[in-house]
Amino acid sequence: MSDFIFGFFYPFKSIKLFFRHPKLIGYSIVPMVINLIIYGTIFYLTFNWITDKTSDAVENNINNSILFNIIQYFLTVFYFFIVLVICYILFIILGGIVSAPFNEKISAYIEDKIYNKKTERNLPFLPDTVQSIAAELKKIGFYLAFIIPLFLINFIPMIGSVISFVFGTGFSFFFNALDFMDYPLTRRMAGFREKLRIVNSKKMLSYGFGAMAFILTFLPVINVLMNPILVAAGTGLFYERDYDDLSK
């Protein structure tokens, strides 16, 4: 349990690195701005469209203004949560692709300057970017391969929602740990199966870190701001807790 707690609070340890190494902030600005625009636009348009459609439907069927306001309030809260889930999934997919090259720079900088374990790749910017995006697409494929069946299971009467919630939460914890520790693993040319094995080898530590990463990436705006910090934290945890020894 101590490993879970250590991993859970570990991301906050990495915040100070951005003040000590301003170059990390420079790497973070572009993907943060792009993701804020993408996330904000999707959230605003989706939430307004759903609430407007619902409001019209309820208003046409309910004449009592008090009952209308009560129903409208609960529907607004419900749809707000639904839109958060939609935006979280899109943030994982679109945000991951947009941020991949910049996250790679953050991770490589942390590896070199903080842990003195530079991985020599010497790739020009374009091939380096392509490799980072390719690794991101593999993770997205893995994510969708689990999330889509879990979404369908949700429609099974009575037990579907419970199964989907339990397995979906556990998978999200694992995936977020994999997502933010993927960068040093990719630089070591680890295959995808090997990445899964290494992250899963320290279950409680990985799940603790993944749990906090899941919470932070689920929260609007905060997810965009914390994403670079989680990349730094994933790289730091990878070295501080000897995941790198398992990748040799």
Read off the pLDDT of residues 29-74 as tens digits, 9 standing for 90 and up: 988 888 888 888 888 888 888 777 776 666 666 666 676 677 777 8
* 48-59 per-position pLDDT tens digit: 887 777 766 666
Mean pLDDT of the 175-184 span = 94
Rounded-to-integer distance, Cα 206 and Cα 135, Å: 19
Mean pLDDT score of the chain, rounded to an integer? 85
How many C-beta atoms surround the C-beta of residue 149 within 10 A? 12
Q: Are 231 and 1 in contact (CB under 8 A)?
A: no
How many C-beta atoms surround the C-beta of residue 197 within 10 A? 13
What residue ranges do the domains of the chain occupy?
A: 2-28+99-246
Reading the block at residue 61, the tokens are 């069927």
Helix axes 160-187, 125-153, angle to 10 degrees: 170
pLDDT at 9 over 70: yes
Alpha helices in the chain (DSSP H): 2-13, 15-20, 22-61, 65-90, 96-109, 125-153, 160-187, 192-200, 203-218, 222-240, 243-246
Rounded-to-integer distance, Cα 21 and Cα 236, Å: 14
* Most distant pair of Cα atoms in the chain: their distance: 69
pLDDT bucket at 227, cuts 50 / 70 / 90: very high
pLDDT bucket at 121, cuts 50 / 70 / 90: low
* 123-168 per-position pLDDT tens digit: 666 666 777 778 888 888 899 899 889 888 988 887 888 888 889 9
What pLDDT is attached to residue 56?
63
Polymer length of the chain: 248
pTM (predicted TM-score): 0.84
Rounded-to-integer distance, Cα 216 and Cα 225, Å: 9
What pLDDT is attached to residue 206?
96
- C-alpha distances (whole Å) from 218 to each of 48, 65, 67, 85, 222 are 19, 34, 32, 8, 8
Amino acid identity of residue 88, one-letter, is: Y
Rounded-to-integer distance, Cα 33 and Cα 224, Å: 8
